[in-house]
Amino acid sequence: MPDVGEGLTEAEILKWYVQPGDTVTDGQVVCEVETAKAAVELPIPFDGVVHELRFAEGTTVDVGQVIISVAVGGDGAGAAEAAAPVAEPVAAAVAAAPAEAPAEEAAPARQPVLVGYGVSQGSTKRRPRKAGSPAAVAGQAAQAGFAAAAPAATPAPAGAALAPAPAAVLNGTGTGNGNGDGFATATTTGERPLAKPPVRKLAKDLGIDLALVVPTGEGGIVTREDVHAAAAAAAAPAAPASRNGTAAAAQAATTAQAAPAQAPAEAPAPVAAGARETRIPVKGVRKVTAQAMVGSAFTAPHVTEFITFDVTRTMKLVQELKQDPDMAGLRINPLLLIAKAVLVAIRRNPDVNASWDEAAQEIVLKHYVNLGIAAATPRGLIVPNIKDAHAKTLPELSQALSELVATAREGKTSPADMQGGTLTITNVGVFGVDTGTPILNPGESAILAVGAIKLQPWVHKGKVKPRQVTTLALSFDHRLIDGELGSRFLADIAAVLENPKRLITWS
């Protein structure tokens, strides 16, 4: 699993595009993964035949874990040999095919990975363990046991001629055991156990002492499965009987040995008839959204104001623009004019376009507008933004909105498209909702909720007439925007939409 950037440590495998026995070429997309911010397609840097898919669809995998092994032969042999030094421990475990070239014969080039050029082969080595130490014995035993069990656990698929080809294993990191991979030294007798940072965090969250966990990973590394097994053992009724952790460790070892035969993750079971509850794992975009909303709600003092007004003229302008030859081929809807009205109101009230610097205790005024548009997708709520929206003409804004919505619906929104927003619009009116009290997107100053536009009785020129009416709700950070500024900003938005000629006179 490659490092896809943005400081993310894990990703969920959404879909495999290949199966064992399929032939792949360098650059071919083999799977789609979802990080906490976006869905990403992963290409493979080898030519060869797929030997094994290490994880099923729906599994969350740490960055750096091996997700697929490829038997490389013929023209791709050079790539396999170049990857041999860093892939050798894992290649032995998955038994993709016997490696013909020894590690010392490999060219000292960087291993091809999915992002960048990989990690160069430096001279930094982990300090070797003392011969005969309990840590060394435990690590050797764990590695030997895993390698011995691997051929039975990973049989070669029928019909795939893999035996003659050397194996190349893809993990996207270009690092292997003993090559400065950042793991801490391991032990169960006072030294720090071998484990990746996400595994350490998992153990901390579950209250598991890593020193008491029996490692099953290559080289004595503690894996997620080991931690979960230890947690299950600790929760078992027999666990309290053994204060020194021996019983828990024994049960963890038994569970861990059985784990490779099971699927890494199971899909949610169908709801049984009469079931009273269903648990849905929170991960990916939904997990990050939940964390961001909690952080925003309890760090930024929210204030929400409302205004209800007549938008009949704006709705007529929408229909006229649809017939305008200059706007042909563009998507024209009320949201376009609402976005333009927000940009005009920001120009009249520039102090609303700001952010709060907690570390420096300063207000940062923004002289650009990255206008966020909240979008509901099958994977959860995301807020991509239109970069430099303040500098766009109406046709350019329409084009940008169309592309943003289409990309979000396809689940292809990139992390960069969701960063750097200054103010957001959320259109709850499309669901028939009149209004709401939206929560700020973290780091932004305000968010505007647009309610449903409905035909209602309204006093117009002294008479009650049916008019198109809507309600806007503006939530803002009271550290940045006081009541007067927030009220003027919201009133200006309504004034533009009530009389769209102000798009010209106020611009």
The catalytic site residues sit at 478
Helix (H/G/I), strand (E/B), else coil: 269: coil
The whole-angstrom separation of Cα 469 and Cα 483 is 24
* Structure letter (DSSP) for residue 153: H
Q: How far is CA 473 from CA 350, 366, 469, in A?
A: 19, 22, 14
86 near 179, Cβ under 8 Å?
A: yes
Q: Which amino acid is at 447?
A: I
The whole-angstrom separation of Cα 189 and Cα 212 is 9
Question: What are the DSSP calls for 75-125, one per residue?
Answer: GGHHHHHHHHHHHHHHHHHHTSS---S-GGGS-SPPPP-SSTT-----S--
Q: How far is CA 462 from CA 243, 300, 454, 458, in A?
A: 83, 43, 20, 10
Q: How far is CA 500 from the centre of its chain?
A: 40
Question: What are the DSSP calls for 439-501, one per residue?
Answer: PPPTT-SEEEEE---EEEEEEETTEEEEEEEEEEEEEEETTT--HHHHHHHHHHHHHHHHSTT
In 3D space, the residue among 350, 393, 389, 345 whose CA is nearest the CA of residue 371 turns out to be 389
The whole-angstrom separation of Cα 18 and Cα 16 is 6
Burial status of residue 246 (CB atoms within 10 A of its CB: 0-12, 13-18, 19 or more): exposed
Taking the CA atoms of 476, 370, 449 and 316 in sequence, report the sign of the dihedral they define: positive
